[in-house]
Amino acid sequence: MTVTHLPAEVAELRERTRRFVRDVVVDAEPAPGERLDQVTRDRLQAAAKEAGAFAPHVPKEYGGQGVPLEHWSPVFQEAGYSPIGPSALNCMAPDEGNMHLLNLIATEEQKDRYLVPLAAGDIRSCFGMTEPHPGAGSDPAALRTSAARTPGGWVIDGHKRFTSGAVGAGFCIVMARTPAVDGFPEGATMFLVDMTDPGLRIGAAIHTVDRSIDGGHPHLLIEDCFVPDAAVLGEVGLGFRYAQVRLGPARLTHCMRWLGLARRALDTALDRAGRRELFGGTIDSLGLAQHLIAESVIDIETSDAIISKTAALLHTDPKQGSAMSSIAKVHCSEAIFRVVDRAIQICGGDGVSDALPLAQYLNEVRPFRIYDGPNETHRWAIARRASAARSAAVRAGERYRGDTVAGRSVDA
């Protein structure tokens, strides 16, 4: 990965991160299929702080490296070169997205209570949005968890599932439907809820193929959970608006991290193809293998480009950036899967065994086509936006060319 337009400070951080992940983190990786244990996580985070690579996305006032969003990608890709790299650098989901949201909309008191320890790696967090059917999932408007006004605060009731990171988390950002009250509109509201609250309980585990997110993806049961007014994150009734503030960058950082792992997968395949001989030459001299390698390079470079464009838009035009993040999410989740899958093919039998970590990489990246909204939902939204934009352009006077060929109507 060659990046020539980075500010010197970010370029230096990228190089520090690259060295730290490859020299320290890779050697600490658990065996394929196993999870990072807390002792190793704590040790790696302490080492990351010492190396000056910890929390690249967090403002310096909270102990991070202060990298602006438009320059996160090169650093996050270096972190993602190891499946545990983002945890070691404290830029893993869902914590990274929650830190970004807290930094933008939390009160100073909320930042002191939640953002400071989260940014330091002293606690983890989770985000309670997805619900069992027929609740919120692909359609956030189906939100069923509710919060009722009560003197001094709110009482929340609901059921969440796929609450990534919940086991062992210190707090949860809970999305709940709220009525029109005290001058605030009806809608959704975000609440900061301590995981020790007696009204909040972790339910059944959901066993998934991925292992990189600390805390799993369990159910979360919320019953008669009282929180004070100070627990409201942002304004009452504006939760869906804030969700977009979080989800656009969060989709993109998933792309960044997993693209780093795709680079690792391709490196693994290239090393194997350059050493192993077959039919009188090394594998990388054979046309079929060269095709797989070339297609993977194309997928990596196009993903890198679309991530960079989306990050720039999120900085200059958040609304357009959020829309572009859907395109990036769909493209990258599928391209990254293809890269890892081709690497397995190149490595043959070892690729599908625990002799190499590639099969586990495939397990890590496959859920991304579902997490943060299934790709089919994003395609639906992308198509709707394209149709609406074209209709608006025609209404504004742009010449209509959709049904003409060489000036002749094709409907005639």
311/321 Cα distance (integer angstroms): 7
**Fold for the domain defined by 240-395:** Butyryl-CoA Dehydrogenase, subunit A; domain 3 (1.20.140)
pLDDT at 278: 83
The pTM score is 0.94
pLDDT at 412: 45
Annotated domain spans of the chain: 8-92, 125-237, 240-395
Task: Please give the single-letter amino acid code of residue 375.
Answer: N
263, 222 in Cβ contact below 8 A?
A: no
pLDDT at 397: 86
Task: Please give the single-letter amino acid code of residue 253.
Answer: T
129/143 Cα distance (integer angstroms): 8
76, 260 in Cβ contact below 8 A?
A: yes
**Fold for the domain defined by 125-237:** Butyryl-CoA Dehydrogenase, subunit A; domain 2 (2.40.110)
53, 89 in Cβ contact below 8 A?
A: yes
pLDDT at 407: 56
296/338 Cα distance (integer angstroms): 7
- 64: three-class secondary structure by DSSP: coil
Task: Please give the single-letter amino acid code of residue 277.
Answer: E
125, 87 in Cβ contact below 8 A?
A: no
pLDDT at 404: 59
CATH number, domain 8-92: 1.10.540.10
The sign of the dihedral angle between the CA atoms of 190, 375, 302, 208 is: positive
Tokens of 410: 């094709």
Q: Is the peptide bond before 185 cis (omega within 30 degrees of 0)?
A: no
Tens of each residue's pLDDT in the chain, 412 residues: 545 589 999 999 999 999 999 999 999 999 988 999 999 999 999 999 999 999 999 999 999 999 999 999 999 999 999 999 999 999 999 999 999 999 999 999 999 999 999 999 999 999 999 999 999 988 888 999 999 999 999 999 999 999 999 999 999 999 999 999 989 999 999 999 999 999 999 999 999 999 999 999 999 999 999 999 999 999 999 999 999 899 999 999 999 999 999 999 999 999 999 998 888 889 998 999 999 999 999 999 999 999 999 999 999 999 999 999 999 999 999 999 999 999 999 999 999 999 999 999 999 999 999 999 999 999 999 999 999 999 999 998 887 766 655 556 555 4
Same fold, 8-92 and 240-395: no
Tokens of 167: 């086991």
For the chain, the straight-line distance linking the first and the last C-alpha, in angstroms and rounded, comes to: 52
Cα angle 172, 86, 331 (rounded to 5 degrees) comes to: 90
35/38 Cα distance (integer angstroms): 9
**Closest to 160 measured CA to CA, from 130, 196, 123:** 130
190, 175 in Cβ contact below 8 A?
A: yes
Instruction: Using the CB atoms, write b or e for 169-198: b if 16+ within 10 Å.
Output: bbbbbbbbbbbeeeebeebbbbbbbebebe
